[in-house]
Structure 1
Amino acid sequence: MELAYGAYLSKYLRDALMSFVMKGVYRERFASTEMFYLDLWPFVAQALVVCNAAASRGVNRRLNAKPAVYVAQFDPQTAGPSKLSTNGAEWRRWRSLLSQGFAPSYLMGKVGMVVDGAGIFSDILGNHARKKELFKLEDAAIRFTLETLMKILLNDNLNYQREDHSVLGVIPNLATPEAGPYCYHLLSSHPVALQRLCEEHTQVFGSDPANASSLLRSSNASKHLNNLPYTVAILKETLRMYPPDGAFRTGSAAVQLVYRAGTRYPTEGCVVSVEHMLYTQTPTRTRTQTPSIHRDGSMGKVW
């Protein structure tokens, strides 16, 4: 089935996420198959778009090579090869170098830096709210994230939340903290969930929000964080509904993806694109786009 992709682009804002455009294409033309080919030659290689959970698991098990386009996309931002663009032995080497930085014990030692940045972030949001100003929440979240990363990685406070630094201009596409703004959006749309979240925070940190900072800096910080099941559930549900990104893999002559009806989709010569946002919302899944979390933090009940 052929379609004019440009016609779909015209329906969206110029800076709209491509995942939302793909969502429109999928729902209007390919909801019954949950997989389709997309040819945008000469801009990118032909892609097999996967919106089916079972097929996506097959991609993860059988297709591990990242496409060559990742080199052009990420290497200029990382000043050379990195875990983002490499495969095989080189990828494993990068993973071993970086894995210690993600160890729970190491990350818990950096909670204080995150708390510092969160305090500034909260002040900035509060100032905008008091002035009733319209602003881009994503921009503020990016600055918070990058400032915190610079503290942790370089032990350097660039004060990026309040000051501009051109050297960081190339990073946001790589580290955009999209989950935060979506989380705020969902909570503002579901006041009952927001109330439950506040109740959990009051139970763990006390009625004075200022106490949270000192408790998270204490030696018992992990204990307090582990007592926030509803908060974790909200974050996970937000990521389910609005995953930050999909996954691209290089196809193979040896791999064909099979849909339930038996239709086979060859992957040779294609970039296989797993659309996480779409396969969590397909009509064949019992889960829907409606966010759902139980009071105890488990999934299943509408907010």
Structure 2
Amino acid sequence: MLDRFGPVLWTVVALVIAYSIHTLRRWRYLRFEQFADLPQPGKPSFIWGHIKKLADLARKKGDPRRHFDLLIAEARSEAGNPPAILLDLRPLSDPMLVICDHEVAEQVSRPSARWSWSTPKSPTLKQIWHLTGNHSIITSEGDHWKGQRRKLNPGFAPQHLLTLLPVILDKTQIFLNRLDHYANTGEEFLLDELCVTLTFDVIGAVTMGKDFNAQLPGQQSEILLSFRGISEEYTKRSGPEIPILNWRSHRIRRRFANRLDNLLKETVREEYIKVVSGETSSRSVLSLSLQGAEELTPELLQQTSDNLRLFLFAGHDTTSILLEWAFYELSKSPQQQRAIRVELDELFGTDSDPKLVREKLLAPGGSETLSRMPYTSAVIKETLRLHPPAGTVRWTEPGTNFQLDLGDGKQICADGCVLYLCSTLIQRDRNVYGETADRFVPERWLGDSSSIPASAWRPFERGPRSCIGLELANIEAKVILACAARRYNFQKVGLGELEVDGEGKPVPDEQGYYRTKSELFNVGITDRAKSAQVTAKPVDRTVMKVRLSEQAIRT
């Protein structure tokens, strides 16, 4: 028997050994040589790359639930703060080149001779297709992307969005009623939930002309419930997004995603019939995007459904995170809170009743008032600088020879890496923002701010593929702050709450900001409580108490 099969067995053994040697050599090349010329946080592990390094940082320094960006900051610091740093995340994910410098980021986001609409988006975005769709504007490339953007632009034009002020104000009033309730009862509440449901209501009206009733428990629309079902499954995951390890969650997400797709497609069909028959007066993003469509093809139907899904995700998330952090930052910054209230008094009168804000904004020429809010705009801009909801991820195929200039004449090839433009680090660069880079200083945006390069502020990213909803987020935030910033005093509870003296008064530091007992931070994928997020959100959902301000009580 052995004589008969011996040669075959020895051949198999030899092939296995040869293949193993080849595999080990290949793996050694990939791990230690492929990106050897890129800045890295120490030598990668042969098996785990830099994953173990990041896990150690999460465990040993600070709260392990911290967002990935904060771990990158520590890894980068250990590497000497280079403008870009390579994190080898294999075998769990692709290697990632984290861009931490605005000039390098600009090389990625701007158009070029090779890519007319900037560097391609990363295929890793497919991991969140349940939230963004497979055929939406965020994942499309080239002429396909250009055509979608052209159709959608009218729905997000500033002058068009200003016509939607009545619905934004209507939804804001419900938000204010809920805050009034908590001010009267003194209960703790999750500011996140109030902000999320408010911005869901607004994005539903703007994109589909639908009332989601998001702020009315028991009356919420099926579209909203299906979307939140998907979102909640993402927050339950623990660790990296690996389908085989999260198979049950993937199955639940897919079920909700299919249900949402059916609901959105039915909405699209209904609106298309109204558009072609001339029976609609709607100026929603959906209605405007369907005008001129000769036929509702399966491709157009799916694309439109996916874009609505994307707008639900991005349209509520960015603004709700902005509002949470803005109210918190103002609550511990007395000088800045005083300044925004003075500006609002000058515009709307000293009576802080939101009804007067509404009357002023809806009066003839009232929308122009929004352009006369420089300090409020500065608060929004500074909040987004310190707490950007997300960066962007790009990708260039191996063999493309995409070169990045890291300065000092150093060129690197970024092919085969996920290019993560880390807004958190770019927007806290001390070379740009100085010693106050980590401080809430809206004043830096007043007057002549030309010393700050435009490319150093990129919460909506830059270039041709910047966020289409930038102006909507700005208008929403201005309206909501105008109605709420003078009326309420927010008090953080738990993580990030203020220090108080023996009389219960907040304790100021040397710069005039109130001291805090601990630091509020954005959550990441390592949260032991399994509250991982797709975007960067406060870890505790911003537990607050609220009371009416003295100004509101007087008036």
Q: TM-score, normalised by structure 1?
A: 0.89
Which residue identity is paired with 2:226? V
Q: Is 1:41 the counterpart of 2:41 in the alignment?
A: no
Q: Is 1:264 the counterpart of 2:323 in the alignment?
A: no
Contact persistence 2:58–2:66 (CA under 8 A): no
- Which residue in the other structure is 2:392 paired with? 247
Partner residue of 2:128 out of 60, 73, 84: 73
Pair 1:57–1:194, CA change in 2 (3 A): same
Partner residue of 2:176 out of 96, 119, 122: 122
Contact persistence 1:233–1:298 (CA under 8 A): no
**1-side partners of 2:133 and 2:154: how far apart?**
21
Deviation, 1:16, is 4.1
Partner residue of 1:105 out of 154, 159, 164: 159
Structure with bigger gyration radius: 2
Which residue identity is paired with 2:82? T
Which residue identity is paired with 2:344? H
Q: TM-score, normalised by structure 2?
A: 0.50
What are the within-5 Å matches in structure 2 for residues 200-219 of structure 1?
A: 200-208=343-351, 209=353, 210-219=355-364
Which residue identity is paired with 1:243? P
**2-side partners of 1:84 and 1:296: how far apart?**
29
Please give the secondary structure, in 2, of the residue aligned with 1:294.
helix
Please give the secondary structure, in 2, of the residue aligned with 1:64.
coil
**1-side partners of 2:401 and 2:444: how far apart?**
46
Gaps of 5+ in 2: 1-41, 44-49, 113-117, 232-311, 450-510, 513-555
Contact persistence 2:83–2:104 (CA under 8 A): no
User: Per-residue CA shift, 1:51-93, capped at 9, x if unaligned?
Assistant: 011111111125520111223423x334540101111111111
How many residues align? The count is 300
- Which residue in the other structure is 2:338 paired with? 195
User: Per-residue CA shift, 1:117-149, capped at 9, x if unaligned?
Assistant: 111112222322333333322222111111111
Which residue identity is paired with 1:257? L
**2-side partners of 1:274 and 1:78: how far apart?**
19
- Which residue in the other structure is 1:167 paired with? 226
Deviation, 1:217, is 1.9
Please give the secondary structure, in 2, of the residue aligned with 1:284.
helix
Pair 1:275–1:81, CA change in 2 (3 A): same
**2-side partners of 1:79 and 1:244: how far apart?**
19
Q: Is 1:236 the counterpart of 2:376 in the alignment?
A: no
Q: Is 1:223 the counterpart of 2:223 in the alignment?
A: no
**2-side partners of 1:26 and 1:116: how far apart?**
46
Please give the secondary structure, in 2, of the residue aligned with 1:207.
coil
Deviation, 1:50, is 0.6
Contact persistence 2:96–2:419 (CA under 8 A): yes
Contact persistence 2:131–2:313 (CA under 8 A): no
Please give the secondary structure, in 2, of the residue aligned with 1:178.
helix
Q: Is 1:24 the counterpart of 2:109 in the alignment?
A: no
- Which residue in the other structure is 1:293 paired with? 442
**2-side partners of 1:178 and 1:103: how far apart?**
23
Pairwise CA RMSD: 2.5
Q: Is 1:280 the counterpart of 2:432 in the alignment?
A: no
Please give the secondary structure, in 1, of the residue aligned with 2:404.
strand
Q: Is 1:87 the counterpart of 2:141 in the alignment?
A: yes
**2-side partners of 1:195 and 1:79: how far apart?**
43
Gaps of 5+ in 1: none
Please give the secondary structure, in 2, of the residue aligned with 1:99.
helix
Contact persistence 1:144–1:160 (CA under 8 A): yes
Q: Percent identity?
A: 21
